[in-house]
């Protein structure tokens, strides 16, 4: 069975961000996709220090039982949904620290795992938040699932989010589109029809 990992980057385990992710998860479950929501926003997660130890260890050097545990779940998943509240027009710092280390320290292929970002705000800042979170998927050759609007909900409490009818519809459509992309990619993989990839990554430095 296909599986989607959903990461709650809010410090509140059952706050507005979780409420949005839960709507996505329920839609995915109704589509036959297994889901798991992991709460990380309350954890003490330090940022990447660029030590490159992950290149020899095969995991992040900081064994804080968050990043390396999530790495295994991420590797086994067919999709990843990342949710964050808006803090000063951007994602939560804890979530960014986690994603920097999670994406940098893992060597397994992320290509064609489906990604999606979800932002929760009282009022504004969701655009910047989604833009920053989507960059992780773009770096990993992960197709990004869309909805019929930006993937955001509004409200200052879970109860207010549940009154955001447009936001809830966006989350449901996102869940359906995620499920469709996962099934479509799985089918193409079984037929051996995924696009060819270049085996060696070219990294060009602009200082000569």
Contacts of 171 (CB under 8 A, 6+ apart): 20, 23, 24, 27, 118, 147, 151, 153
Q: What is the pTM of this model?
A: 0.96
Output the tens digit of pLDDT for each of the chain's 208 residues.
999 999 999 999 999 999 999 999 999 999 999 999 999 999 999 999 999 999 999 999 998 889 999 999 999 999 999 999 999 999 999 999 999 999 999 999 999 999 999 999 999 999 999 999 999 999 999 999 999 999 999 999 999 999 999 999 999 999 999 999 999 999 999 999 999 999 888 989 887 6
Residue with tokens 């940098």: 104
Residue 95 forms part of a structural domain: yes
Residue 44 forms part of a structural domain: yes
Domain residues for the domain of 55 are: 3-190
Residue 200 forms part of a structural domain: no
CA distance 64 to 75: 18
Residue 197 forms part of a structural domain: no
Q: How many domains would you assign to the chain?
A: 1
| Residue 72 belongs to domain with CATH number | 3.40.50.360
């Amino acid at each position: 069975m296909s599986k989607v990992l959903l990461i709650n980057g809010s410090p509140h385990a059952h706050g507005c961000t979780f409420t949005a992710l839960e709507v996505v998860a329920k839609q995915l479950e109704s589509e036959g996709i297994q889901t798991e929501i992991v709460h990380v926003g309350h954890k003490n997660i330090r940022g990447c220090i660029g030590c490159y130890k992950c290149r020899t260890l095969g995991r992040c050097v900081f064994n804080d039982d968050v990043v390396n545990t999530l790495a295994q779940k991420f590797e086994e998943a067919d999709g990843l949904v990342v949710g964050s509240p808006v803090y000063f027009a951007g994602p939560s710092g804890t979530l960014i620290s986690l994603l920097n280390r999670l994406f940098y320290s893992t060597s397994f292929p992320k290509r064609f795992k489906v990604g999606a970002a979800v932002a929760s705000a009282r009022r504004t800042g969701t655009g910047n938040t989604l833009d920053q979170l989507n960059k992780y998927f773009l770096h990993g050759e992960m197709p990004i699932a869309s909805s019929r609007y930006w993937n955001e909900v509004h409200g200052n409490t879970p109860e207010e989010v549940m009154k955001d009818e447009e936001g809830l519809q966006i989350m449901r459509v996102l869940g359906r589109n995620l499920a469709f992309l996962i099934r479509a990619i799985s089918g193409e993989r079984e037929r051996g029809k995924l696009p060819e990839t270049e085996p060696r990554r070219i990294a060009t430095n602009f200082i000569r």
